[in-house]
Amino acid sequence: MRNPFKILLLAGLVSCGMAQGNLAGAAPLVIKFSHVAAPDTPKGKAALKFEELAERYSNGGVDVQVYPNSQLYKDKEELDALQLGAVQMLAPSLAKFAPLGVQDFEVFDLPFIFPNYDALHAVTQGDLGRAMLAKLQDKGITGLAFWDNGFKIMSANRPLYLPKDFIGLQMRVQSSRVSEAQMIALGAVPQAIAFSEVYQALQTGVVDGAENTPSNMATQRITQVQKYATVSNHGYLGYAVIVNQKFWDDLPADLRAALEQAMAEATVYANGIAKGENEAALQRMKAEGLTTFHDLTPDELTAWKAALAPVADAMAPRIGVETLAAVRAATAAAD
């Protein structure tokens, strides 16, 4: 395992201008890329693809060091570390920006806001997505790209067919007011718990159930602690790849261009594998037989959508009425 103290020293030298990276330079520039997911999730694979491409296109001018599974920081610590310069690059889930005062990103947590990937990409890969990333600039953060994970499903230790089945359940959510409002609308009690602590919380009964994508559910072994799951595809989980703004702006132009090319190609790769990775994970879990999976019937889906429809309008003042309207317009045009 890499020596974190040595890496931190190198990072400090870089941020102070004492280390220079360039395409023909002697000492490679260290870029620490921290994230909370497993290496074999869509995000984990995309981070490794970026590492490979960045080192190739920079001719060894950078040394990208990827730390998955919260090896360096847990959910709530990541952004502080990035802003302080202790880590150069992250790929946090989109709700993580709300505590910084950029609550627009919680629009991605709204239930059933994106009917499919085409509607989603009309936002994340268009002008609206770029405008949202630009809102991070005054927080000392440069947004580089959106990476998909996929659409979430629900799990619990009792079947979840209709909204009434959630009543009284303690349900894990990521830290997001929108996700909390969603669970309350279903009659559940939301509990914000760090991703790295979900398995233990389910195992010990701190919470009764959770929502996540199949790929995250599989890599975190959630089937070992949940008897039932519903393939609801009710909400999107994705990430913004971000970098410390000062670090990025201080890069030599040729090195930054190499990293931009690597990020562009890694993003195409990330968003190209996400759907297939989640479908494959779902099939593996079904074959495993530890958890019983249920596909919503048309009538059940209608009931879910009706129960969750008020969440968007209730959260509009928090997210931003204009942001919500722009997302709705973009998705309607793409659907």
Has residue 112 been placed in a domain? no
Has residue 215 been placed in a domain? yes
The confidence score (pLDDT) of residue 26 equals 62
Has residue 111 been placed in a domain? no
Q: Are residues 143 and 157 in the same domain?
A: no
Q: Are residues 175 and 65 in the same domain?
A: no
Q: Are residues 225 and 252 in the same domain?
A: no
Q: Are residues 58 and 179 in the same domain?
A: no
Contacting residues for 324 by C-beta, under 8 A, at least 6 apart: 107, 110, 312, 315, 316
What predicted TM-score, i.e. pTM, was given to this entire model?
A: 0.88
Q: Which domain holds residue 22?
A: 4-99+128-148+238-273
Has residue 117 been placed in a domain? no
Q: Are residues 132 and 242 in the same domain?
A: yes
Contact 175, 77 (CB under 8 A): no
Q: How far, CA to CA in Å, does 151 sit from each of 53, 244, 265?
A: 27, 28, 23
The CATH number of residue 65's host domain is 3.40.190.170
Instruction: Tell me the per-residue pLDDT of 35-59, one tens digit each, with 9 for 90 and over.
Output: 998 899 999 999 999 999 999 999 9
The confidence score (pLDDT) of residue 73 equals 83
Instruction: Tell me the per-residue pLDDT of 238-295, one tens digit each, with 9 for 90 and over.
Output: 999 999 999 999 999 999 999 999 999 999 999 999 999 999 999 999 999 999 999 9
Q: How far, CA to CA in Å, does 36 sit from each of 6, 163, 196, 232, 262?
A: 22, 30, 7, 24, 21
Has residue 194 been placed in a domain? yes
Q: Are residues 133 and 168 in the same domain?
A: no
Taking alpha carbons only, the member of 190, 170, 148, 166 closest to residue 276 is 148
Of 250, 273, 296, the residue at which a domain comes to its end is 273
Mean pLDDT of the chain: 91
- 224: Cα separation from own chain's centroid: 23
Has residue 219 been placed in a domain? yes
Looking at the chain, the whole-number percentage of residues with pLDDT higher than 70 is 92
Q: Are residues 197 and 308 in the same domain?
A: yes
Q: Are residues 65 and 19 in the same domain?
A: yes
Q: Are residues 295 and 189 in the same domain?
A: yes
Q: Are residues 63 and 206 in the same domain?
A: no
Q: What is the dihedral of CA 109, 113, 115, 118, to 10 degrees?
A: -80
Has residue 35 been placed in a domain? yes
Taking alpha carbons only, the member of 207, 135, 123 closest to residue 171 is 207
Taking alpha carbons only, the member of 112, 116, 113, 95 closest to residue 104 is 95
> What domain count does the chain have?
2
Has residue 108 been placed in a domain? no
Starting at the edge strand that comes first in sequence, how are the strands of the sheet with 29-34 ordered?
62-67, 29-34, 89-90, 236-244, 141-151
Instruction: Tell me the per-residue pLDDT of 90-103, one tens digit each, with 9 for 90 and over.
Output: 999 999 999 999 99
Q: Are residues 69 and 168 in the same domain?
A: no
The confidence score (pLDDT) of residue 20 equals 40
Q: Are residues 177 and 53 in the same domain?
A: no
pLDDT band at 77 (very low <50, low <70, confident <90, very high): confident
